[in-house]
Amino acid sequence: MEKAINRQQVLLQHLNPSASSFSSHQNNSALSASACLAGDSAAYQRTNVFGDDVVIVAAYRTALCKSKRGGFKDTYPDDLLAPVLRAVIEKTHLNPSEVGDIVVGTVLAPGSQRASECRMAAFYAGFPETVPVRTVNRQCSSGLQAVADVAAAIKAGFYEIGIGAGLESMTTNPMAWEGSVNPRVKQMEQAQNCLLPMGITSENVAHRFGVTRQEQDQAAVESHRKAAAATASGKFKDEIVPVATKIVDPKTGDEKPVTISVDDGIRANTSVSDLGKLKPVFKKNGTTTAGNSSQVSDGAGAVLLMKRSVAMRKGLPILGVFRTFAAVGVDPAIMGVGPAVAIPAAVKSAGLELDDVDLFEINEAFASQFVYCQKKLELDPQKINVNGGAMAIGHPLGVTGARCVATLLHEMKRRGKDCRFGVVSMCIGTGMGAAAVFERGDCVDELCNARKVETNSLLSKDAR
């Protein structure tokens, strides 16, 4: 450091005006050599900032299965979460004791019970007692919120490695309101609209914004077609962790051991004419049906995040970079419009335009809101849910965010240099939306945001 300061002093002697023009005191106060954290090159400090990026090194999920009828109908929730927690550790060869926190997005189960189940799952997965676990509930975006919470904690310096996960067994915990509703809710329309069935909010979006039944059914067909094609080509194998479990015969009680590794709600032969035969579920003359809505599902997912400098030191491949996150509020009566508000907010905070985004994973809670958001933002259909979405794959509420992160990042990796930025977004019950921006992990070299130094002058930034 002394040599660097000496070099600064030599340069400053040439830069200072002559002694006849200014007093010695003025010379000393105007320009002076100083110790600089950047060391001998300005690129050093910029590289440190780059090393502080929060990156994803692994993202996995279980298959998503139809609740009460699918492959996980007889699987305990903690037995869904444990395999994906184990996978992110085993596949990266990370010492589990290095994880600073496990944050699990989950919605329907009683809070304290689910918190205990998540802690139990961490033990099943091989984590020591020193690793803490907590849950987070922002309804349909809970899995994404868990990832964002971990990223924020790493940015804040609370720890360097964490897991954002999601868990939902809609077989075990169906959607229901427990206890009485405060009669005060009738005094305020917005509060009352928080209690609207989600299907009614779908009907409201369709009616208010003119989304036709034909458009909704066509979107559902496309979702199944793309998900079936992705399954057939093996695309989901990179993200799905097989789960060894059991199926119980409801008539005999006999247990059959099975390994579940494929989403079981995808219908490859779905057609517009078939969907057109289904009756509206929520409104007599409505357009929302079981065929153009997301599927009620069971599953789990987990995303391993850490500082880039830690990943580089460990030699772990970087799947993606967490860039920004935004959660917004919207009218509860049309909660499905959430992504149309959240996506621009997240993209703007990343310093990007919508056209800069190469892939979108937008949760298909209902075809009505999915079609609306696509049209409102004028998004290229070829960029959205390229491997299908929740109408085909399923929507276990607390898992969807983590599932979408895994699906997005693995697809971005496959596409390579043609795909740099991706967005995950979803609408949220009671009137919200959430979105996050990710950058492909290997699209830049390790000095991408460092100043390019043509010649090594060995001067700190203070001498420039």
Nearest to 258 by CA among 67, 60, 61, 70: 70
Helices (H), 165-290: 189-193, 198-209, 213-232, 272-276
What crossing angle do the helices spanning 111-124 and 77-90 adopt, rounded to 10°?
Answer: 40
- Fold (topology level) of 52-173+192-439: Peroxisomal Thiolase; Chain A, domain 1 (3.40.47)
Q: What is the pLDDT of residue 18?
A: 44
The span from the CA of 80 to the CA of 425, in Å, is 24
- DSSP 8-state secondary structure symbol assigned to residue 272: H
Confidence of residue 340 (pLDDT cuts 50, 70, 90): very high
Question: Which pLDDT belongs to residue 16?
Answer: 52
Give dist(CA 449, CA 45) in Å, integer: 10
- Summarize pLDDT for 146-159 with one digit per residue, the tens: 999 999 999 999 99
What is d(CA 386, CA 233) in angstroms, rounded to the nearest whole number? 13
The per-residue pLDDT of the chain, averaged, comes to 89
Instruction: Find the mean pLDDT for residues 324-343.
Output: 98
Alpha helices in 350-454 (DSSP H): 367-377, 400-415
Per-residue pLDDT, averaged over 396-412, amounts to 98
Q: Compute the average pLDDT of residues 211-225.
A: 98
pLDDT at position 62, please? 98
Q: The tokens of 125 are what?
A: 């997965």
Distance CA 300, CA 318 (A): 22
At residue 49 the predicted structure's pLDDT band, cuts being 50, 70 and 90, is low
The model's pLDDT over 11-21, given as tens digits with 9 standing for 90+, comes to 455 445 444 44
Residue type at 202 in one-letter notation: S
The pairing of strands 101-105 and 133-136 is parallel
Q: Please give the DSSP secondary-structure letter assigned to residue 114.
A: H
Q: How confident is residue 33, by pLDDT bands cut at 50, 70 and 90?
A: very low
Task: Write down the residue that tokens 């060391």 correspond to.
Answer: 39
Which pLDDT does position 9 carry in this prediction?
A: 60
**pLDDT tens, residue by residue, 279-305:** 999 999 999 999 999 999 999 999 999
Query: What is the reported pTM?
Result: 0.85
Q: Which two tokens stand for residue 353?
A: 């335009």
pLDDT-derived band at 26, boundaries 50, 70, 90: very low
Catalytic residues: 140, 395, 427
Determine phi and psi for 42, rounding to 5 degrees: -65, -25
